[in-house]
């Protein structure tokens, strides 16, 4: 998947890989970003309770894709070819994403 840069929030300026997309909610799940802790009770007697860390989705508007050619966080433009195919283009270097 794509590498993104978080632009706002507690994890600002951190990079991570997109794990899952939620298009209906407009959110993305990014590896190592927006981690919440959940306390889990022991299931059997003699077992210890534990704290589980789980990444939670953030709004897609708070992240920017990192261009593989120039390595900068960028906005995306679209380009149509004569064949009718649509390509994503980096706004900074003009390279295909």
Q: How far is CA 44 from the centre of its chain?
A: 36
Question: According to the model, what pLDDT value does residue 72 have?
Answer: 92
pLDDT tens digits for 37-66? 999 999 888 899 999 999 999 999 999 999
Sign of the CA dihedral running 65, 68, 74, 77:
negative
pTM of the entire structure? 0.80
pLDDT band at 97 (very low <50, low <70, confident <90, very high): confident
């Amino acid at each position: 998947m794509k590498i993104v840069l978080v632009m706002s929030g507690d994890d600002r300026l951190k990079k991570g890989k997109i794990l899952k997309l939620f298009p209906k909610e407009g959110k993305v799940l990014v590896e190592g970003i927006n981690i919440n802790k959940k306390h889990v009770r022991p299931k059997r007697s003699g077992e210890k309770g534990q704290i589980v860390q789980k990444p939670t989705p953030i709004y897609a508007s708070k992240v920017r894709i990192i261009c593989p050619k120039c390595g900068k966080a960028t906005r995306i433009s679209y380009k149509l070819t004569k064949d009718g195919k649509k390509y994503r283009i980096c706004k900074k270097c003009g390279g295909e994403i």
